[in-house]
Amino acid sequence: MALTTNPHVLKWIDESIALVKPDKVVWIDGSEEQLNELREQAMATGEMIKLNEEKLPGCFLHRTAINDVARVEGRTFICSRKEEDAGPTNNWMDPKEAYEKVGKLYDGAMKGRTAYIIPYSMGPIGSPFSKAGVEITDSIYVVLNMAIMTRMGKDVFTALGDSNDFVRGLHAKADLDEENRYILHFPEDNTIWSINSGYGGNVLLGKKCFALRIASYQGKNEGWMAEHMLILGLENPQGEVKYVAAAFPSACGKTNLAMLIPPEVYRNKGYKVWCVGDDIAWLRIGPDGRLWAVNPENGFFGVAPGTNEKSNPNALASTRQGTIFTNVVHNLDDNTVWWEGLDKNPPRNALNWKGEKWDGATATEKGAHPNSRFTAPAKNCPCVSPEFDSSTGVPISAIIFGGRRAKTAPLVYQSRDWDNGVFVGSIMASETTAAATGAVGVVRRDPMAMLPFCGYHMGDYFQHWIDMGKKLGDKAPKIFNVNWFRTDDEGNFIWPGFGDNMRVLDWIIKRTENQADAQETAIGYVPKAEDINLDGLDFSIDTLKGILEVDKDLWTQEAEGITEFYKKFGDHLPKELANQLDILKANLKK
């Protein structure tokens, strides 16, 4: 029974169903009753394993195919009508070719299976920030994850009415064949196609596919921004909350910062940190002319390994109920889960992520996949913001960029103005660690942490940032860059990080309120060491001065690297950014 009379939705569903030819079609209404039926079915087939109801109420374990464990950037395409519009940093496929070639793979792909039709909202249903999507999938795993990650159900259709402004997502597991795995985005058609994968990031189409790749294109056309950013609120002892949005490439502590627990000296005074979002922010200019943000998601899709009581107690607490774990260790003794870095007690009687017998005391291979995941409801998070479901969002005082640099970037610096801040975001980079590639210290640029997620030409994306700054004028948030990862000559991290990053956030907020001083350097404004609060921390002011230093020789090399990187964007590079690079080079010669 269709849940909507929207002619655009019905036409697209009819065409898609005619293509994939399922035996049965089920409309997902979002009711707990229907979701429970699907959980029962998934348990019966072994697709989901019910975990210990006392220790992990409402939690399940799922294993993906062994060849299907991560996002596949090489198989991810932007299918814009003109190749130039996809830009130099995306894979491009002609939409005609894509529809024809991949259409053949979809033909009859759901024979013998059930197609589930999922209406979902990115952002609170009915908020002016929010957008509707409909995903057709043959995976119960997808339905149950989308129930955690989005606002899902028939109310979405009520809010959509007869509008054609919804994102069409078609997902078929097909044969999980790597050679025929495609994640296709058609920005001009508001359409996403995903085939031959069952892994989260490729098949939960509301996440990176819609909320970043398609939404970034929508935002450019409609005058708002879709960004790969956490959103957090910092509450001072007077009860005032200031919000920041922050972008970091992977493995730079984004989720840890989003759920930060302030150091004791701050907690005792009454400071609090509120998590609005850990991964994606949609930002619009509000009626007051300021930039406001919502988290379009409803849950966390976090990496499990390394998540523990010390690194991120709030994330761990979020997984204690109603969570789906993917590709972690199954502890058979008490029917719970485990992963590397959870604690020092790996289970002896267990199954690894592939479902093979595994003994943590003698095993030579890791038990959980390095990209194993948890899908947890945001409402479980102990520090979830009271504004989490707000339809107006939260006003952003500061935007923070960051990467992983051993020597180059100081602990924190502030851009001179908005255009300089866009420059700072566009040159964001991390150095590879040995674990990643075998090569150490290779600089990987990831502008605004959006390199894999921008749905159009990145040069035009930079221009959109510049244009947003013109609209915001003097109400624009201040822009900063942080680097928690400065190392000494032995390669040890100097700054303690984790909760102590609050000390840097504190200075950032003070700068937005014109309450802290700074010194101008060749790259921007750096704090005076005495303005970073070190109370209760065994950390010398001289060491702090060391990690606030700007080394002109290193930055001269950096400027050369930026010059090379910028060549990629050709005449799409905004003149404002070319100008910022010239200013940097001139400053370094002074």
Q: Which residues are annotated as a binding site for GTP?
A: 251-256, 373, 404, 498-501
* 567: nearest Cα among 417, 454, 445, 402: 445
- Spatial separation of the C-alpha atoms in residues 500 and 295, rounded to whole Å: 25
What letter represents residue 394's amino acid? V
Q: List the structure tokens of 309.
A: 């009581």
Residues of the binding site: 71, 199-201, 208, 228, 250-256, 279, 371-373, 404, 498-501
CA geometry: angle 425, 430, 431, nearest 5 deg: 155
Active-site choice (252, 275, 381, 454): 252
In the block, residue with structure tokens 């998934």: 42
* 401: nearest Cα among 524, 583, 310, 222: 524
Q: 514's torsion region: left (phi>0), alpha (psi -120 to 50) or beta?
A: left
Residues of the binding site for Mn(2+): 208, 228, 279
Residue length of the chain: 590
- Spatial separation of the C-alpha atoms in residues 78 and 93, rounded to whole Å: 7
Q: List the structure tokens of 138.
A: 């043959």
- Spatial separation of the C-alpha atoms in residues 506 and 514, rounded to whole Å: 12
Question: How would you classify the pairing of strands 76-78 and 182-186?
Answer: parallel
Q: Distance of CA 438 to CAs 349, 429, 432, Å?
A: 33, 18, 8
- Spatial separation of the C-alpha atoms in residues 554 and 544, rounded to whole Å: 19
- Spatial separation of the C-alpha atoms in residues 479 and 19, rounded to whole Å: 48
* 327: nearest Cα among 297, 362, 358: 358
| List of residues 6+ apart from 553 with CB closer than 8 A | none
> Per DSSP, what are the bridge partners of residue 184?
77, 193
User: Could you give the count of Cα atoms lying within 13 Å of 408 in the half-sphere of its Cβ?
Assistant: 22
* 271: nearest Cα among 310, 303, 241: 241
Q: Report the first-to-last Cα separation within the chain, whole angstroms.
A: 72
Whether 275 is catalytic is: no
Contact 431, 441 (CB under 8 A): yes
Catalytic residues: 252
